Structure 1
């Protein structure tokens, strides 16, 4: 019944002073007592549940059935080996899933929404999870409501509550309203704001009355009903590939069984071999490997300040060839500093450091006062909150001994008309000595349109066309010097007026020029992006001349002809704009609708577009772009929610680094997949040819399963986390429609797999030939067949392990990129050989797997055969045209 109580009653009940908020100690005590402000998620699966989930596969069921049959016929050793392989496979799967889950959890923590609260008398930004009952929360356009609030102050506040009410239109809020009816619907509680809803207009303050599961959204727990599809398009494609290969493998095994029946081979032995080959041939581990590589990749990206919110973005990053970037904060330092200000006839330079002298005349004082009172930013003890432009204005006032806190206390705000991207203006109504005064700031040309008078030497005079020209000339000169221009005006009134009446018949006071210098590292990043076939484009609300000046300095544009303004875009027909879009590198004075139009125009020509943004008005363009990139520092919750990636440092350079990382992650996944398919094909080729030509089986079922275990797990994952190609940004972006097996990757898999399979048979042949037998011999003694199978066993495993080194690059020799530059792969290969050696030399394992120790000559021979696929692949790179893998 909070909606039926007055603000005084609620403040008293929650023991909080709205002027100072809770103390840090009290907030911490309440947090410990009531817990964090987050909804309960779906219960996590236990390790045991994860383990059994790994066994839920038809082929695993068949394998377990085979183990039962082997026990029934007394083959205990084979049964134990089969069960051991199944257990180890499931264990590795659990480890992979756990790592991926932990990585995603870490990312979710990084993307926790933040809230503005008043504590200890100061406005602070904290994680929404740390909001407690009694906190005073400040709302403005673009922020999600972090908990259920009873509003105590509102100014044209509108909140979109579709998550609760289903109503798409924003609801108008008024803190002064009271609702006596206890059955008042949620949508009509105009003095309340609810968790997970979105402030779309105006501003307000509210006191937290419920958190976490006690909130309205918590009660209905809608978040638990969301059906989240965590598989990326790449994982889906690979799952489909796995199924296709599975059908092929099953068909081959059926053919093998039919041939075996015709050839009168031992049916039980062939049954086990066929099942084992099917299990080995189907790359069921592909989706898991892709998941862990993506998860580890995005965790690595978070360390370079790029938080990927949606895993498909990693795939898309590799194809980006247009980066549409905002100017302020992304290409520049986002440290706005006022360096000049102008009142009628007086241009003043401001010291960039330290304090300036007190304002010399009335006009300058009124200019600074209007800017500060028409601002929501704060700046105290070197710390600031709010928009960087507004912070710069508050800092300007500090330099002229006009403190923001004091001004706001003396001239309390009683009304406002919030900033709007279409009007490019913001107005406030403040108490004044003789009544009230409207203070307006914004784009100078818009200020001049709604002004009829000007302040000159402390007197209000009529605003002439000549005076307008003077203001515009000064503004243009400042813009040419890459300064951002902001104008200010005021209007006195005897009574409180409606927001609609505020921006009429104003008095122009003057304008300021502020600079946001380019980031030092951005110029090199732009050059790097261009070298990678990526075109950087600047989209900004700033003046055309200012934008072009910065663009020229950074290397984005070379002339004014490469720029266009929003109004000029409106003058072009859609067909004409689509035709000319390729000519522009700077888009100035644009609206949200223009941003969407620009992105769509680039996409029309087949480009993959990345778009940056930070405001509510950027959300549509961020959603439409192939990669929406939100600013982590200045970005609103709305822009972050609409984005695919968040920059924690708001830096253009991070986008380029993320694209580079995205390209390498995709390439690494491709390496793993091609490697796995080559290995699996090698096993199929060796067994199928032996059955087809009625030769003895070169490998037993248990041996196939063992090789699959040591080669399909650690080396494949090690390839997936390869350091990547340092020259990846010297290549053109990957085309989205490119086949996964493009640029010779499919041929590489077929040739490599076939070679591995044939060499396995060659090793088997040599093992028989040592004792005077051939592949067509009958009644081969057991010790001879064991020797031959051991040689085939070592070659099949060894060839795959050596081949993994060669898969690190399609066109570069592993010796060129550094044999030891991926120590994970080196470790995986060494581990594989140690395990293989252990199976052969330790009597208990050797008897179980039906292998024996080899002579020195035989070891030399199998090592020679094992390294051949690696050598062939490395030599072939000398004759291949450079292409990406």
Structure 2
């Protein structure tokens, strides 16, 4: 990992180990702020309880218990008051789970730090550390902020919280900074907030504090992800508003009908209040916020930093990735693989020309590779430079040759450099053939040329002709480990991947073949060809690789793909990538080499710049949506029989099926089941299908039909069993026990079918909810407290059979969906996925 260093933040060169003066500390704290890595302080228990007090269930309990106490029903009133305790505890636990990322991250921060100020070492609170401080970290201590290691004694750090690297990382002191206003420095020279020094000592010059640290950005993402309103949250909020209005109308109607039926105003109020709490859909927005927060945290653990919560939704809907090649699909570390000098030109002269044409500051990977291969001192002072641009595709330097003359050196795209040289037609054709051959091996090829200039006749412009061709330099950038498997995973899941690069088409084609991109015959277009096709047809042609692409052409590609209905993710690292990042549904910036502009324009930052990380993040996004679907499906399935029976039976003149304490009992089952049982992480190698429907189509028509059918069957079973259990003696307590047994068993059955009990949490939730419910029904003192009569064996047999029959459509629906994912008898046949069959047809004219 390479991190940019704003040089203006350093009070002295790295080799100097002086501390700050007191006046400098005050000035730097005013300029850069305090070292508050956490976006906000840890919440107190009182604040958590205050937030929990907004739950309408609590006020329902307080109101109904007060009503019972006023009427002299002391036992019922006290039981309802006592039920507030577990409800508050559950809310506090779920709140803790939602904030688990922030709380866990906080535990890895330093509390105090040892700094050198005014020539003396002082121990200060970690939040008082400022940019420019020299901090000493001992073995076992945490780094208080992000800084450069300027001295080290056998220093090894544990960095798993940031990089995922489980092995210790040896830290080395930085002797001098590379040239430039914001040079990049390898991670082995950095001490990072949230990491711990395992052995030795380290002296660190602080560069970033508080929210500017990498750790601080992760904390803020984990906190903000659950609070920003997304389109799905807006849709759920609208649904909740509609349901609240409907519930209020039903409550008023029920209260009036019960009063007119002669049950009295007490019964009427209890009926309305019970129905209102049962019908209140507060679990939906709560579950959505909880799941989004968990998604942000999981993506951060996958090295994908979410900057906008909407990305947690969109990343699971991605159908096309426009990916850079260098540093994302490949390692981004060039090395010179082959030199092809022109006749009568030495390899050393070819390399020297390439080095002279390279920039001295702000070097790119190609310049670094050329320097490493040449291992020659740079002779001659620079007189003028003409930097590389996307339009010119070459770089020229005019240097003093040390003999009173000038030497112009140029390097760049072979076709551009060859056009500047005095060569015969046959020689140009031969060099073009060699360029194609080298590029066909997957190598980045540049051409070099030079010419002597007279200091008297040169007017200061860039020479446009008369160069002597020096030869070709071929560099290679190895494919990142694991990327080939990630590309194959995308292809198998029907996720289209387009590589966009500035490299030669042959180079890009060779890399695409290594990756398996586009199968055996990847479709390659140049950026210019793509621009022409978009202008003529308005549609994106079948393409796997866009070579020699300009930023504007990448932007046009992203927009065209979106017009065709694709949900597009685009990667980028430079300021010139900002338009494409903003145009994409999900803009993804590179965290290691990306510029600040690219990171700010993106919605997700990849901390390790790896394409495999992007694919794993997409898998997490898709799994998050599946989790949400199953959680919402569970909530609908359990609420349909609960609400319908709470309204229908009292309207029909039956005694109240549910008392307030029963609603509390059911809510204590529904809340943790919905929040915890469906928290399944993405499994490696299982990308899963894309979600193309928007918030308005959260479920397919078949899924809605299944929910209605299963909910209806459970409702019919509840009404029938309640009516049968009342019997001639109108044993209400026995009927309620049967109904509650059916609902709790149905809840566990729904969770079992929808989760397949793949997670430990799902298994524990189902076991505990069933165990506690059986105890409340069968243990006589507890049953009497709940207003129930214990059930007989034949009662339980009817409950089990009724719930099992109602679950059959849900089991069939889940099995059918699983079979489709696996390509079974009800799913697609093995072979090409639908998008790739269509791509094959387009390529071959079918």
Sort the TM-score into its range (normalised by shorter chain).
Answer: 0.7 to 0.9
CA distance in 2, matches of 1:93, 1:438: 72
Give the CA deviation at 1:37.
5.1
Residue pair 1:619, 1:639 contacting (<8 A) in 2 also: yes
C-alpha distance 432-713 of structure 1, shift in aligned 2 (>3 A): farther
1:244 maps to what in 2? 242
1:22-41 → structure 2 map (5 Å cutoff): 22-23=16-17, 41=39
> Residue in 2 aligned with 1:394?
371
Which residue is 2:644 aligned to?
Answer: 685
Q: 1:128/1:718 Cα in 2 relative to 1: closer, same or farther (>3 Å)?
A: closer
Distance 1:805 1:688 in 2: 28
The 1:577–1:552 alpha-carbon spacing in structure 2 relative to 1, beyond 3 Å, is: farther
Q: Distance in 1 between matches of 2:469 and 2:615?
A: 43
1:567-586 correspondence to structure 2 within 5 Å: 567-572=528-533, 574=535, 576-579=536-539, 581-586=540-545
Confirm or deny: 8 A CA contact 1:541 1:591 kept in the other structure. Answer: yes
Quick one: structure 1 residues 109 and 532, their matched pair in 2 at CA, closer, same or farther if it must change by over 3 Å? farther
Partner of 1:56: 54
Equivalent position of 1:828 in the other structure: 765
Contact 2:334 2:369 in 1 (8 A): yes
Whole-angstrom CA distance in 1 between matches of 2:594 and 2:459: 27
Is 1:419–1:425's contact at 8 Å kept on the other side of the alignment? yes
| Residue of structure 2 equivalent to 1:363 | 349
TM-fit CA distance, 1:621: 0.5
**CA shift for structure 1 position 476:** 2.7
Structure 2 Cα separation of the partners of residues 839 and 537 of structure 1 = 59
1:289 to partner: Cα distance? 1.8
d(CA) in 2 for partners of 1:722, 1:318: 15
Aligned partner of 1:750 in structure 2 is: 708
Q: Deviations over 1:551-598 (max 9, x none)?
A: 234333468893221233444562x2423x132222111111101101
Partner of 1:318, secondary structure, is helix
CA distance in 2, matches of 1:466, 1:109: 69
Partner residue in 2 for 1:602: 561
Which residue of structure 1 aligns with residue 412 of structure 2? 442
Q: Within 5 Å, give how 1:267-306 maps onto structure 2.
A: 267-306=265-304
Alpha-carbon deviations, 1:225-262, whole Å to 9, x = none? x9996122222222222222222222222221121012
The question of whether the paired residues in 2 share the 8 Å contact of 1:22 and 1:119 is answered with no
TM-score (normalizing by structure 2): 0.74
Matched, 1:424 2:409: no
The answer to whether residue 484 in structure 2 is matched with residue 523 in structure 1 is: yes
Q: Tell me what 2:832 maps to.
A: none
Give 1:882 shift.
Answer: 6.0
Q: Which residue of 2 aligns with 1:168?
A: none
CA contact (8 A) 1:336 1:514 kept: yes
Q: 1:827 to 1:15 in 2, by over 3 A?
A: closer
Matches within 5 A, 1:307-322: 307-322=305-320
Question: Is the contact made by 2:380 and 2:400 (CA closer than 8 Å) also made in structure 1?
Answer: yes
- Give the alignment partner of residue 230 of structure 1, picking from 203, 218, 228: 228
Partner of 1:721: 679
Whether contact under 8 Å (1:305, 1:647) holds in the other structure is yes
Give the counterpart of 2:660 among 701, 713, 718.
701
> Which runs of 5 or more structure 2 residues have no equivalent in the other structure?
1-7, 109-130, 136-142, 152-176, 183-204, 213-219, 822-826, 828-846
Judge conservation of contact 1:723–1:821 (CA < 8 Å) in 2. Answer: no
Matched, 1:840 2:838: no
CA displacement at 1:705 relative to structure 2? 2.0
**Aligned with 1:550 (options 483, 491, 511):** 511
**Partner SS, residue 792 of structure 1:** helix
* Equivalent residue number for residue 794 of structure 1: 741
> How big is each residue's C-alpha offset from its partner over 1:205-232, in whole Å with a ceiling of 9 and x where there is no partner?
xxx99986999xxxxxxx9xx9996122
- CA change 1:594–1:287 in 2 (3 A) is same
* Residue 494 (structure 2) aligned to one of 510, 529, 533: 533
CA displacement, residues 116-137 of structure 1 (integer Å, 9 cap, x when unaligned): 99999xxxxxx995259999xx
804, 829, 837: which one pairs with 2:751? 804
What is the SS of the residue equivalent to 1:583? coil
Secondary structure at the counterpart of residue 527 of structure 1: helix
Q: Which moved more, 1:462-471 or 1:623-632?
A: 462-471
In structure 2, the partner of 1:484 is: 444
Q: Does 1:130 align with 2:77?
A: no
Contact 2:351 2:370 in 1 (8 A): no
1:799–1:868 CA contact under 8 A, matched in 2: no
Contact 2:254–2:271, Cα closer than 8 Å, also in 1 = no
Preserved contact between residue 147 and residue 207 of structure 2 (Cα < 8 Å): no
Query: For 1:211 and 1:653, how far apart are their aligned partners in 2?
Result: 28
TM-score of the two chains, using structure 1 as the length reference: 0.71
Unaligned runs of 5+ in 1: 1-9, 111-115, 121-126, 136-151, 159-207, 216-222, 348-359, 378-385, 453-461, 774-779, 809-818
SS of aligned partner of 2:710: helix
The superposition leaves residues 418-438 of structure 1 with CA deviations (integer Å, 9 ceiling, x where unpaired) of 543333344566676357766
Are positions 1:665 and 2:627 aligned together?
no
Following the alignment from structure 2 to structure 1, what is the Cα–Cα distance between the partners of residues 631 and 371?
55
Match of 2:72 in 1: 74
Indicate the larger mover: 599-608 or 719-728.
Answer: 719-728
Give deviations 1:669-693, integer Å, cap 9, x for gaps. 0110110111111111222221122
> Is the 8 Å Cα contact of residues 31 and 132 (structure 1) preserved in structure 2?
no
Residue of structure 1 in register with 2:791 after alignment: 854
Distance 1:338 1:247 in 2: 70
Report the secondary structure of 1:345's partner residue.
Answer: coil
| CA pair 632-752 structure 1, distance change in 2 beyond 3 A | same
Which of the numbers 578, 581, 597 marks the counterpart of 1:622?
A: 581
State yes or no: 1:475 paired with 2:439: no
CA distance in 1, matches of 2:18, 2:704: 61
Which digits, 9 at most, give the CA deviation of each residue in 1:78-107, with x for residues without a partner?
A: 334444444544443343334333436879
Whole-angstrom CA distance in 2 between matches of 1:87 and 1:429:
80
* Residue-pair matches, total: 725
Tell me the distance in 1 between the aligned counterparts of 2:475 and 2:733.
83
C-alpha distance 415-211 of structure 1, shift in aligned 2 (>3 A):
farther
DSSP 3-state at the match of 1:610: strand
Instruction: Report the Cα offset of residue 845 of structure 1.
Output: 4.0
Range moving further from structure 2, 260-269 or 851-860:
851-860
User: What is the deviation of 1:802?
Assistant: 1.8
Residues 442-461 of structure 1: matches in 2 within 5 Å?
442-449=412-419, 451=420
Shift of the 41–737 alpha-carbon distance from structure 1 to 2, 3 Å rule, reads closer
CA contact (8 A) 1:309 1:644 kept: yes
Partner of 1:219: none
Q: CA deviation at 1:701?
A: 1.8
Give the 3 Å change call, closer, same or farther, for CA 516–840 of structure 1 in structure 2: same
Deviation at 1:722, TM superposition (A): 2.8
CA contact (8 A) 1:367 1:510 kept: no
C-alpha distance in 1, partners of 2:626/2:609?
27
> Contact 1:317 / 1:658 at 8 angstroms: preserved in 2?
yes
Change (3 A) 1:577 1:104: farther
- The 1-side partners of 2:672 and 2:56 are apart by 24
Residues 319/279 of structure 1: CA separation in 2 closer, same or farther (3 Å cut): same
**TM-fit CA distance, 1:263:** 0.9
